[in-house]
A and B are shown apart, each in its own frame.
Chain A
Amino acid sequence: MIPIEYYLILSAFMFIMGVIGVLTRKNAIIVFMSIELMLNSANLTFVTFSSYLGNVTGQLFVFFVMTVAAAEAAVGLAIIIALFRNKQTVSIDEINILKW
């Protein structure tokens, strides 16, 4: 059996990758994908613990997170499209008229 640490390290790795993606990528869509990555790392943690602890709550949680992720993606893409209509760009660096 694969030790639990492997799963956790993998999920931590995914999580960090996700965070770094959010912090550094300029394209809003890729930023979104990074956020999905973060959510999925959490999902991985949940199922890992769920199986390790023999407790179904974690798996339950994953279903909800997947739903939320889908909703978030839908809303996110809609907003990006609305912004693109206004500014013809999806580069995060260029959306900064609101500041100070």
Chain B
Amino acid sequence: MTQLIYLTVLLPLIGFLINGLLGSKIKNEKIIGAIGSGVIGLSFLIALFSLFELLALPEDKRQVIVNLFTWLKTGGLDVSIAYQVDQLSITMALIVTGVGFLIHIYSIGYMHGDKGFWRFFAYLNLFIFAMMNLVLADNFVLLFLGWEGVGLCSYLLIGFWYDRKFEKSTTSDAAKKAFVVNRIGDFGFLLGMFLIFMTFGSLNFTEVFARASGLNVPTYVFNFIALFLFIGATGKSAQIPLFVWLPDAMAGPTPVSALIHAATMVTAGVYMVARCSIIFASAPAIMTLIAVVGLLTAFFAATIGLVQNDIKKVLAYSTVSQLGYMFLALGVGAFGAGIFHVMTHAFFKALLFLGAGSVIHGMHEEQNIQKYGGLKKYMPTTYKTFLVASIAIAGIPPFAGFFSKDEILWYSYANGGLIFWLIGVATALMTAFYMFRLLTLTFDGTPRFDTHHKHPHESPAVMTIPLIALAVLSIVGGFIGIPEVFSGSHGNLFHGWLAPIFKKAEIKLAHYGSHSHTTELVLMTISVIGAASAIWFARKIYLKNPQFAVNTAKKFKGLYKVLFNKYYVDEVYDFTVVKPILKGSESLLWKFTDVKIIDGTVNGLASIVEKTASYIRKIQTGVTQFYAVIMTLGIAVALFWIILSL
């Protein structure tokens, strides 16, 4: 089965081709939906069997490379369509296909009646195809192709409802923003790739990583490579300073937000850093940078999430914040913990988004949580699953989020220091708070909408079943990563599973001294109690005393405004980057450099080319004897040349 891993990539492509080419002719939503979800389901099954096969192998043999074909092989450059199945890639593949499958099913209900139904499924399948290439690639080139591919699909899907308004502008503006910001990151990634090729003479993972740990390469080279790769990761995974596109990406249909902008694509950066762990481990300065960026992103995004009123916006900032957590984990050298959080986050965040989608669906496209309230009784299943997800993200044991988040917090304390831990916990508390603010405002209390005209309804089974499945995963998903403190001699299963991948990097980092179980337990207890009290606090305010929130907001009007306007980052970027670039490009670049210099040069070159061309053309006079003369002259010139060289 492992040898058939390429099918997990191929099947979504087939789905894309069928739906993309024939979708407009099939028209039947059931068939399109069945094809679209079916291929992903099959992919998932194949990945699952591959996992079992991998488990049956001895630990040091758990790396299978399936070379589909070598596209180009010359010198050191070996561009192959080759898939690498190992612990890390199969984990990611399972997350992508598994969560992807559920979201596909959900979309059948969510997109029902949309005129672009087939287009939607075609894009989704294409996205899975690109994403599977990304996670299964055995070389940087293929990874980059997948990387660009998911970016393209994200662009297509954000702008899916190209005819709808989004906030002040259109969805295609949001799509464009995502595209441009991602390009900046991709450029960094590309530079990193070039540097890797220059340094190690290869782009194949196995070779690069072997040489990275073997060759004597100066640290600054590693620093540059790691920096460029990390810039790529900040673009894709929405970290400071390139996070601004993700909240706007919510313009896309909600399943897209769940699949691409929560569960899978945005974690590509985390995956990439984890995959290149040995390179990053050799660049200590960049590791610190990653940890700090991750921490700051987690913290600031959480503060913004506190005051947002758009249900998807809250979740978007929560995603940014959780991604920050993952980078914190990577930065402190806990690669396994980062990937673990990728997994659990995929479960509960996908669930949250799908739940939000269900609410939006039931509320006829209303997204403002201030206009919700009391939805509990209208949509009980959505409420229950949403509750599970909220508890999970808040980090209450024994839900999935608890284990992964706590592992990260523990490593940030052990490898980073107290301050990392403190900010991390503060973020966790805020997360618990805003999630329960969201939950309470949406589902509890009395309806704040016109109950006579609006009749919220529970979503159909095709939408609630994926919710339930994800809820179950959010509850039990963490058990494979029970920390050593509880499981004792078994150790952390998930950690042990991934350990061979990160072994070299961890040896290089080598800071695994202070592993006191007592400290771990104490810290854990503090964070859990903190989270629980945040939840209690949130419920108390928004259920019993909503006026308190309004008053607080009034009291700290300045702060509130700053948070509500997302630290004015968009405005700041607009002011410091976009406007100057526009202005500068208009006056300097366009009017001067472009018109005068570049246009001048290009036009000059072009006109030289054109002029020369028109002269060259005239040589062809049409008179045969003229041709013959030139030919004879040509021979004479050559002869002359020969005489000279004799």
Please give, as numbers and ranges, the residues of chain B lying within 8 Å of A98 by CB-CB distance: 622
Rounded to whole Å, the gap between the CB of B631 and the closest CB of chain A is: 9
Closest chain-A Cβ to B555's Cβ sits at a distance in Å of 82
Interface of B is mostly: helix
B628 touches A23 (CB 8 A): yes
Number of interface residues of B (CB under 8 A): 11
Shortest CB-to-CB span from B637 to chain A, Å, is: 16
Contact B622 A96 (CB under 8 A): yes
Report how far A66 CA is from B433 CA in the complex, Å.
103
> Are A23 and B632 closer than 8 Å at their CB atoms?
yes
Chain A stretch 17-47: residues in CB contact (< 8 A) with chain B: 19, 22-24, 31
Q: Distance in Å from the Cβ of A86 to the closest Cβ of chain B? A: 16
Q: Does chain A have a CB within 8 A of B550?
A: no
Question: B489 — which chain A residues lie within 8 A by C-beta?
Answer: none
What's the least CB distance linking A77 to chain B, in Å? Answer: 17
Contact B632 A19 (CB under 8 A): yes
Contact B622 A100 (CB under 8 A): yes
Point out the residues of chain A lying under 8 angstroms from B621, CB to CB: 96, 99-100
**Known contacts A19-B632, A23-B632; A92/B618 CB under 8 A:** no
A5 interface residue, CB < 8 Å from B?
no
Determine whether the beta carbon of A92 is less than 8 Å from that of B623. Answer: yes
Q: Bound complex: CA of A93 vs CA of B620, how far in Å?
A: 14
In this complex, the interface size class of chain A, counting residues with CB under 8 Å from chain B, is: 10 to 19
Is residue B624 contacting chain A, with contact meaning CB distance below 8 A? yes
Contacts of B629 in A (CB 8 A): 23
Interface residues of B in 605-646 (CB under 8 A from A): 617-618, 620-625, 628-629, 632
Cβ-based interface call for A1 (8 A): no
- Asked if residues A95 and B624 are in contact (CB atoms below 8 Å), the reply is yes
- Cβ-neighbour of B617 out of A95, A97, A100 (below 8 A): A100
Which of the listed residues A24, A96, A100 has the most CB atoms from chain B within 10 Å of its own CB? A100
- What A residues does B617 contact at CB under 8 A? 100
Chain B residue nearest in CB terms to A94 = B623
Residues of A within 8 A of B628 (CB): 22-23
Q: How far is the CB of B518 from chain A (nearest CB, A)?
A: 91
Which residues from A are CB-within-8-Å of B632? 19, 23
Which residues of A in the span 68-98 have a Cβ within 8 Å of any Cβ on B? 92-93, 95-98
Bound CA–CA A31/B623 (angstroms): 14
- Residues of chain B contacted by A99 (CB below 8 angstroms): 620-623
B479 shortest CB reach to chain A, Å: 79
Known contacts being A19-B632, A23-B632, A100-B617, is A92 close to B622, with CB within 8 Å? no
Chain A residue contacts of B623, Cβ below 8 A: 92-93, 96, 99
Q: Would you call A100 and B620 a contact (CB within 8 A)?
A: yes
Q: Which residues of B contact A31 (CB under 8 A)?
A: 625
Report the separation of the CA atoms of residues A99 and B618 in the bound assembly, to the nearest whole angstrom: 8
Most buried by A among B617, B624, B629: B624
Spell out B's residues near A (CB within 8 Å).
Answer: 617-618, 620-625, 628-629, 632
19 example contacts (A-B, Cβ-Cβ < 8 A) are as follows A19-B632, A23-B625, A23-B628, A23-B629, A31-B625, A92-B625, A93-B623, A93-B625, A95-B624, A96-B622, A96-B623, A97-B622, A98-B622, A99-B622, A99-B623, A100-B618, A100-B620, A100-B621, A100-B622
A interface, CB within 8 angstroms of B: 19, 22-24, 31, 92-93, 95-100
Known: A23-B625, A95-B624. 7 other contacts (CB 8 A): A19-B632, A23-B632, A31-B625, A92-B625, A96-B622, A99-B621, A99-B622
